[in-house]
Amino acid sequence: MPGIPKYFPILLLAATACLGGCKKNVDTGILSTGNFGDTTGVLKDAATFPIGTAVNNGPMQDAQFLAITKRDFSSVTFGYEMKHGAVVKDNGTIDFTTPDAMVSQLGNITIWGHTLCWHQNQNATYLKSFAGIVIPAAAELSTNGGFESGLTGWSVFNSGNPSGSATITATTVASEVHSGTGAMKVVNPTAYPGSQWRVQVSSSTFATTPGKSYIISYWVKASSAGGSIRLSLGSAPAAGSSQYQGDQTIGTSWQQVSFNFTAATATNTFLFDMGQAANTYYIDDASIKEAIAQPDQSQIAVKLDTALKTFITSMVTHYKSRVHAWDVVNEPFADNPVAIRTNVNTSTDAKDVLVWSNYLGRDAAYKAFKYAEAADPAADLFINDYNLESNNAKLDSLLAFVKELKARGCKVDGIGTQMHVSRTSNLGGIDNMMQKLGASGLKIRISELDVKAVAGSAAGGPTPQLLAYQAVVYKYAVESYMKYIPAAQRAGITIWGINDKNSWLYNNGAEYPLIYDNNYNKKPAYSAVLQGLKGK
């Protein structure tokens, strides 16, 4: 059967008729370990379509890494440096310095843009703040609100009738303090019904912005039941906002009292009024902060739409002369069950995660493609996802989603399948995927190919046998691509890195997934890819 390695035994050959539902795993007790010794040749010269690799800024500073990149590959994808988190600063501006330098280093080699709309590797701190998903803590405007410095910053305006019949002092008695070491103690021996202002203490002046809302809060208790306190403003608030808080009945346990107002002036003060009822009052932890409203979901969606449009438009426009194809939408589906990503089916623990589709729904992908097309109508625009070779439901869902996007008027030129696979991967699943992708009529690309060699083996390292099994899967992936993807639809194969130690899977030597070893020697996998491209 065309495309099957000659050293496969008859048992495995018979299995090649199975697709999707038929297990066709690489079995270490069956496969040969030979036929991958010849590494003569250059990968990009063996193909009629782009052969790419992934690069990052650090490894590119190694002259040998860069030389191999230029020698063996006709295109590159930046593993990180064009992503949102790499270029968007905390104030929302975009810094192109690093990717620009990389583009310059690479000369005329084709660059594949990666990626414009993904839930990971983002400046999610900026996005969440900009959209109002996370409300930044408002600044504390009070001076000595905890009375840790006695009555510094506080002024006694009225102390009873006659003046001085009420006493206002600082206290450090533990039972009279709410938190910290200090509080204010007000002893009013005389009740002045209807005249709270007869005993009155003022805060220091604090800055306000006319039109903004503020909240004043404080903790208070009385020595006996039936106390009464009121808060008032030193300057009139905005129209429709009260200058006085209603009388608050105060008991013998600490209680927090709050008062909201909208500022009409650039500065203000507030006053505690305690003349209504004779009692001893303890006041602590006074606070003044701007009351920042939490936006609703529709407001958040509008802000994120703006941020998505800004990023995509800026990136595509900036690299329009050098990047002619983009992974516009990356990994739109969650697994098990397969569904468009939300905050429920996607982990949001990492600080660089923001799930666009949680807020924009299916429109996240639609908008991303529309913004990319508007910025560069001539660019090839792709959607990219993983596990398509092992999750048939995800493959079918992605194909259906692409049809939906195209029916809505999106320019979706192609599909990328990542293929982060293993020496134990189901080969029938690879064929099944390639057949379905080829039948879409779109451009198809293996976008992030790597093959785990160790894959949990007790051997614990890249033994010659494991490297041979790895090579088998590399070759099979290339052969399946060439067999089932028509020539006109082949957008290329990108191997996700060059040498093992620079792979995202390396994990300090736990895995060896690429076609060069740590010393830039060609592995059997290199020969396997070369053979697959040449049809040998």
**Given pLDDT bands bounded at 50, 70 and 90, which one contains residue 15?**
very low
Q: CA torsion, points 367, 369, 372, 375, in degrees to nearest 10?
A: -70
CA–CA distance, 451 with 470 (Å, rounded to integer): 6
The mean pLDDT of the chain is 92
Element (H, E) at 40: none
Q: If you average pLDDT over residues 140-154, what whole number do you get?
A: 97
Q: What's the Cα-to-Cα distance from 388 to each of 279, 320, 391, 473, rounded to whole Å?
A: 74, 30, 5, 16
pLDDT (tens digit, 9 = 90+) per residue, 413-431? 999 999 999 999 999 999 9
Supply the pLDDT for residue 455: 85
Active-site option among 81, 331, 373, 389? 331
pTM of the predicted structure, to 2 decimals? 0.82
Partnered with residue 499 across adjacent β-strands are 516
Distance of CA 503 to the CA centre of its chain: 21
CATH class of 10-78+326-346+359-534: alpha beta
Tell me the pLDDT tens digit for each residue of 426-469: 999 999 999 999 999 999 999 999 999 998 887 677 889 999 99
Residue 104 has pLDDT above 90, yes or no: yes
Domain 155-290 has CATH 2.60.120.260: yes
Task: State yes or no: is 448 an active-site residue.
Answer: yes
pLDDT tens sequence across 470-497: 999 999 999 999 999 999 999 999 999 9
- Residue 331 appears among annotated catalytic residues: yes
Tell me the average pLDDT across 383-396: 98
Please report, for the chain, the start and end positions of each structural domain, with discontinuous segments joined by +. 10-78+326-346+359-534, 155-290
Position 18 confidence tier, pLDDT thresholds 50, 70, 90:
very low
Which entry of 389, 448, 479, 511 is annotated as an active-site residue? Answer: 448
